[in-house]
Amino acid sequence: MSEFLGYEREDGSIGIRNNVAIISTAPYANDTVKRAADIIENAVPITHPLGRCQTKPDVFQTYRTLLGYGTHPNVYGTVVVAHAGEIVDGDELAEDVAETGRPSESVNIHRQKGVMNGLKATVNAAKDIVQDASNQNRVSADMSKLTFGINCATSDTTSGLCQHKATAGAVWRLIDEHGGRGCFAETPEFFGGENELADRAINDEVRQEILDRVENWNQRLQATGYDVRGAQPTPDNMDGGLTTIEEKSLGALVKSGDGPIQDIIDYGAKIPDASGMYIMDTPGHGAESVTGIGASGAHFMVISTGQGHTLSNALMPTIKITGNPHSAERVPEQTDVDVSEALVGDKTFDWATDQLWDEITDVINGKLTMSEAMGESQFAIHRIGPST
């Protein structure tokens, strides 16, 4: 076991950042959230187009995801902003956040009698929480508390040959040597490798669940009546030499290593406490899969990219690694770790893993990632069914 410096939470989790989240429950509260976050130092706005006129599966998924952000280990406290009465209820969300011991306030624009009063209430609530958060110091914490998220982004043929090997090496180092957790996702990117992946499940139930969820995605895509090529693989994947979704998948799975899979969990669900590797069932759409993994409570994410990508997240720092020497040169501000010397130079994949691990230990102790320094983040909740 090793230690790092993090922020203790009352619910027993440890944060690697001390953010204050301002969360919108519906599109009609987004502007208030963004304006408040512009005014308040270090407040993170969470806005989205969902939360109203959704069917129940989407309501549950949206709520679960927003609660995951409101109670994320990297979050000190939360302000929830609702427009009016919504099926994703702002008061309920704020109460559920408060149950984890975090400062939590609920603002309702209708109840405040308008946008200006709603903005004032949001700003007042957020400024108090931000000031309190600034008074908290990092303390020594055990690395077994950490969850390591993994995602691909603009994969190319170098991904499976190089950078994913370093990513797999680092995530299994956290699991095997430090007792932490890992989580990868993007179920349609298991196509072609699903049997070998399912064989890594810790029991038959999890094995069958993996196969069922992969088949469910294949059926959903077939039901469109179109060839999925163009969406999977994407045009930038194809520019990078990836020809089919199977080729993309077989490369993508390299980043998960070859160790046992504990479970496959729903989109946006919390990752269990037990050490090991988990899968979250998400689309391959990066903004949606990363948002889902963020809601799970993953502390940081390694984005293993081929051609380079701006993909990042508001609350979960993202460390971008590439093994493509042209990408590292072409998009330097989208590359935290360049391990291309392991692909086209004389370095080993163990060296590549060490490079990534060193960056991870810096980031969990407070070093800003490239996308944090650049002020970049996306938030996109995966939707299941129609709006109503």
The contact set with other proteins (CB under 8 A) reads: 156-158, 160-161, 188, 191-193, 218, 221-229, 232, 238, 240-241, 243-247, 250-251, 306, 324, 326, 343-344
Nearer to other proteins, 137 or 224 (CB): 224
Q: Given the complex with other proteins, which of 84 and 231 has the nearer CB atom? A: 231
Are β-strands 3-8 and 139-142 bridged in parallel, bridged antiparallel, or unpaired? antiparallel
User: How many angstroms separate the CA atoms of 230 and 236, rounded?
Assistant: 9
Q: Least distance from C-beta 264 to other proteins, angstroms?
A: 18
- Pair 50, 42: CB distance under 8 Å: no
Indicate the residue among 256 and 324 with the shorter CB distance to other proteins.
324
Q: How many Å apart are CA 99 and CA 383, to the nearest integer? A: 27
Task: DSSP for 271-328, please give it.
Answer: PPSSSEEEEE---S-HHHHHHHHHHTT-SEEEEEESS-----BSSS-EEEEE--HHHH
* Peptide bond just before 233 cis, omega within 30 deg: yes
Shortest reach from residue 234's CB to other proteins, in Å: 12
Question: Looking at beta carbons only, is 111 or 347 nearer to other proteins?
Answer: 347
Contacts of 368 (CB under 8 A, 6+ apart): 317
Minimum CB distance to other proteins, residue 197 (Å): 12
The nearest distance, CB 231 to other proteins, in angstroms, is: 8
Rounded to the nearest whole angstrom, what is the least distance from the CB of residue 171 to other proteins in the complex? Answer: 20
The 19-24 sheet, strands edge to edge: 43-46, 19-24, 75-82, 104-108
Closer to other proteins by CB, 144 or 218: give it.
218
Q: How far is the CB of 225 from other proteins (least distance, A)?
A: 3
SS3 at position 68: helix
Give the residue with the Cβ less far from other proteins, 47 or 324: 324
